[in-house]
Amino acid sequence: MITTVTLNSAIDKTYYVGRFDKGNVHRVGRQIAEPGGKGNNVAKVARLLGAEVAASGFAAGANGAFIEERLVERGIRTAFVQAQGESRICLNIIDETDGSSTELLEQGPVATEADVAELKRTLHGLASSSSIVVLSGSLPQGVPVALYAELIETIRAANAKAYLDTSGAALAAALQAKPDFVKPNEQELAAWLGRELRSEDEVAQAASSLADLGIGTVCVTLGGRGAIAFLDGKGYRVKPPKIEAVNTVGCGDSFVAGMAYATERGASPEGRLRAAAAAAAANAMSDRAGHLELRRYEEYLNEVEVTAFR
């Protein structure tokens, strides 16, 4: 089983308007509401690929109930800790005249010490029956910056692999616990290093330095250019299929889902990277984050190029 943890779950709402002008009233032509937050996107894609999936983290209020209900409808087991207040809404307004996106992101509820303690107990039980636990996204208000590091120790104590996808101070603190997998994007890696990365060779050097910390799998995603990865000390460049993306939101989460799914099934390093890149590309062809069509995913598997360079 693959377990995902989303500490700052959200309802992802997308509004499509004919033209978005600041200060005016707009009629919404079409809208989508999805259970969101990075870990929940991972859960949705892993389930679509065929994995058994459980989703955990914090959920609050009526919004939290919506998130859980929609995940359960997809065949995902839920085990969220109920926090006070309301889970956040993340609003994305798409201007259909030019395809531009305007995002409004709420902060979400404040988690208490008691909430964190309950989450650790819940996570230990889930990890004990999981092969992989994915920790994704931002930290909610009220929790220590080292929480991901603490959760990695909880996962390791239950003999599961810990996958991490976060950024900033949360990433820096969690690296001390040596997760089994990390997936920064190019900008997040540069922020961790404290300097600009001017070329893919510099990205590869920075990714190698992450692997040297004792992290078995490091994948740095480069958007439409693919990824640079180190798996068990060996470097790979990943070239994705050529597509005209419909939506790039959730592609990184889909990459993580593909990697976890293929790893659980014992795929080779090249097979894991192909699955990750194919899932990300298939997500990019959907108007919903954390969604793909299996037909497209299977088609893209044969179009991903993986080249070893060290």
Mean pLDDT score, 84-109: 91
Neighbouring residues of 180: CB distance < 8 A, sequence distance ≥ 6? 161, 162, 163, 215, 216, 217
Amino acid letter, 156: R
* Coil/strand/helix, residue 240: coil
Q: Is 253 a catalytic residue?
A: yes
How far out from the chain centre does Cα 249 lie? 10
Judged by DSSP in three states, 282 sits in: helix
Which one-letter amino acid corresponds to residue 39? G
Residues in the chain: 310
Two tokens at 221? 């995603």
pLDDT category, 310, cuts 50, 70, 90? low
Tell whether pTM > 0.75: yes
Mean pLDDT of 138-162: 96
pLDDT above 70: residue 41: yes
Q: Which of 12, 165, 180, 253 is catalytic?
A: 253
Lowest mean pLDDT among 130-139, 147-156, 201-210, 251-260: 201-210
Element (H, E) at 82: strand 77-83
The answer to whether the beta carbons of residues 210 and 218 sit under 8 Å apart is yes
The answer to whether residues 199 and 190 touch, using CB atoms and an 8 Å cutoff, is no
236: which 2 tokens?
């790979």
Q: Which residue has the tokens 């990697």?
A: 259
Q: Which range has the worst mean pLDDT, 19-28, 108-117, 272-281?
A: 19-28
**Strand ranges (DSSP E) for 126-208?**
132-136, 161-165, 181-182
Residue 102, CA distances (Å) to 14, 92, 114 in order: 10, 6, 36
Q: Residue 169: which residues within 8 A CB-CB, separation 6 or more?
A: 145
Cα distance between residue 116 and residue 124, in whole Å = 12
Looking at the predicted structure, is the pLDDT value of residue 277 above 90? yes
Residue 14 · residue 31 · CB < 8 Å: yes
pLDDT for 181 equals 98
Q: What is the mean pLDDT of residues 117-130?
A: 97
Residues 6+ apart with CB under 8 A from 42: 4, 134, 136, 165, 253, 254, 256, 257, 260, 290
